[in-house]
């Protein structure tokens, strides 16, 4: 299987040619193997070695490029029946964590970039995010409901250490007494416990920590710039000790790769203070399927065909099924077994209890006119 080569989109895979895997060059600290062309592009780009080793030289110098993205709005609304929130805030586009399975990768194709290496190395920050959020929350007709952060790209990815956009947005939400749900796989969230804990005490905030594996080696390959599994467990403990409700998200579950860890993941999270648990099966929309196939052949060639076949068994013979109520859980025997195992373990650990709603009745509008602040309580 050559770099950029694509498998048949349906049916079972019996044998994958892995002979050229050793010839590939992998960038240190990157999840994707290549920069496969986006679905909106008219031309296909493919690396070509002219005999001078220039591919390896260029790739070894790959650095993260950070660019401004002046947005028109910051709150994005949705009507999906598959998720528990109807609005999100994302201060960044692209994510340096480089998780190969990230369902947000295809969003980079809208700007003529690749869902592969571009997604994790060419990042955008919304420099006017704070001003936009202040304005949108202060509109007279605004109705407060939970704002979810970190749902498209991680709000605590490495660039947040420098830009501090997420922290600034939290300060605005705290001032407005607006309910907030955060999801991350970064230990950097501990920096903002001083903001999140008082909101949680008031019934305004909760946090989800994504935990995909306890295997450091697999984690390093699959999500190369995210926090280690142990750091995520330590983060669950720090948040829990601060009185913040923590849900562990074992997402994604990948049959044949990390599904054997379900019980161990839940037990470890519970031991560190998580009180609830959720999971999502691997989703491979658009360009992700080809990037993920490429990653499998590179890192787990002996299991690649089995993993792909399990995924397709859960998706009606395809790599992905986008139908409502099925895309998160899949169907068929393998999906049913995963569901039963997860449900049984979560019940045993008391992590399947319904969670209470975050409060919206504390919300207040803050209007700022020329430096004069008025609170409508």
pLDDT tens across 112-157, in order? 899 999 999 999 999 999 999 999 999 999 999 999 998 889 999 9
Nearest to residue 71, comparing CAs of 132, 113, 119?
132
pLDDT tens across 157-192, in order? 999 999 999 999 999 999 999 999 999 999 999 999
Q: Is the pLDDT of residue 10 over 50?
A: yes
Average pLDDT across the chain, whole number? 89
Poorest-confidence range of 15-29, 52-66, 274-288? 15-29
Distance CA(364)–CA(377), nearest Å, equals 5
CB 215 within 8 A of CB 229: yes
The mean pLDDT of 203-209, rounded to a whole number, is 98
Q: What is the pLDDT of residue 248?
A: 98
Nearest to residue 326, comparing CAs of 56, 135, 82?
82
Q: Is the pLDDT of residue 225 over 70?
A: yes
Q: What is the pLDDT of residue 56?
A: 55
Nearest to residue 252, comparing CAs of 329, 323, 319, 196?
329
φ, ψ (nearest 5 deg) of residue 30? -120, 145
**Domain range summary for the chain, segments of one domain joined by +:** 27-41+62-353
Q: Return the SS3 of 174.
A: helix
Q: Is the pLDDT of residue 377 over 60?
A: no
CB 270 within 8 A of CB 351: yes
For 172, other C-beta atoms within 10 Å of its C-beta total 19
- Could you tell me the pLDDT band of residue 3, with boundaries at 50, 70 and 90? low
With b for 16 or more beta-carbon neighbours within 10 A and e for fewer, the 72-93 pattern comes to eebeeeeeeeeeebeebbbbbb
Q: Is the pLDDT of residue 372 over 50?
A: no
Nearest to residue 358, comparing CAs of 236, 192, 238, 199?
199
Q: Is the pLDDT of residue 374 over 70?
A: no
For 137, other C-beta atoms within 10 Å of its C-beta total 21
Q: What is the pLDDT of residue 155?
A: 97
Q: What is the pLDDT of residue 324?
A: 84
Give the HSE-up count for residue 268: Cα atoms under 13 Å, Cβ half-sphere.
Answer: 21
- Could you tell me the pLDDT band of residue 369, with boundaries at 50, 70 and 90? very low
Beta bridge partners of 369: 372
The mean pLDDT of 45-57, rounded to a whole number, is 58
Q: What is the pLDDT of residue 327?
A: 85
Q: Return the SS3 of 64.
A: coil
Identify how many contiguous H helices and E strands the chain contains and give both numbers. 12, 12
φ, ψ (nearest 5 deg) of residue 76? -105, 130
Q: What is the pLDDT of residue 82?
A: 86
Q: Is the pLDDT of residue 370 over 70?
A: no
Architecture of domain 27-41+62-353: Alpha-Beta Horseshoe (3.80)
Q: Return the SS3 of 50.
A: coil
- How large a percentage of the chain has pLDDT more than 70? 86
Q: What is the pLDDT of residue 42?
A: 62
């Amino acid at each position: 299987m050559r770099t950029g080569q694509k498998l048949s989109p349906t049916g079972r895979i019996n044998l994958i040619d892995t002979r050229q895997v050793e010839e590939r060059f992998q960038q240190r600290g990157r999840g994707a193997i290549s920069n496969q062309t986006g679905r909106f592009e008219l031309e296909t780009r493919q690396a070509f070695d002219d005999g001078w080793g220039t591919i390896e030289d260029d790739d070894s110098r790959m650095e993260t490029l950070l660019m401004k993205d002046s947005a028109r709005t910051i709150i994005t609304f949705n009507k999906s029946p598959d998720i528990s929130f109807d609005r999100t805030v994302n201060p960044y586009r692209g994510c340096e964590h480089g998780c190969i399975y990230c369902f947000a990768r295809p969003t980079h194709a809208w700007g003529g970039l690749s869902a592969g290496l571009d997604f994790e190395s060419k990042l955008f920050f919304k420099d006017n995010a704070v001003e936009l959020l202040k304005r949108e929350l202060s509109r007279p007709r605004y109705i407060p409901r939970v704002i979810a952060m970190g749902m498209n790209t991680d709000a605590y990815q490495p660039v947040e250490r420098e830009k501090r956009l997420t922290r600034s947005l939290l300060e605005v939400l705290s001032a407005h007494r607006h309910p907030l749900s955060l999801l991350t796989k970064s230990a950097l969230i501990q920096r903002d416990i001083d903001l999140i804990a008082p909101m949680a005490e008031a019934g305004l905030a909760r946090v989800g920590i994504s935990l995909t594996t306890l295997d450091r080696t697999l984690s390093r390959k699959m999500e190369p710039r995210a926090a280690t599994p142990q750091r995520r467990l330590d983060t669950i403990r720090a948040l829990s000790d601060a009185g913040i409700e923590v849900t562990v998200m074992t997402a994604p579950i990948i049959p044949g790769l990390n599904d054997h860890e379900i019980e161990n993941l839940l037990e470890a999270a519970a031991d560190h203070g998580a009180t609830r648990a959720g999971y999502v099966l691997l989703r491979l929309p658009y360009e992700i399927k080809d990037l993920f196939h490429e990653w499998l052949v590179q890192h787990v060639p002996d299991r690649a065909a089995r993993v792909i076949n399990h995924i397709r068994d859960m998706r009606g013979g395809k790599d992905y099924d986008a139908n409502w109520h099925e895309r998160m859980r899949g169907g068929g025997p393998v999906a049913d077994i995963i569901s039963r195992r997860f449900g049984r373990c979560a019940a045993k650990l008391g992590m399947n209890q319904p969670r209470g709603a975050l409060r919206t009745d504390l919300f207040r509008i803050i209007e700022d006119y020329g430096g004069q602040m008025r609170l409508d309580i």
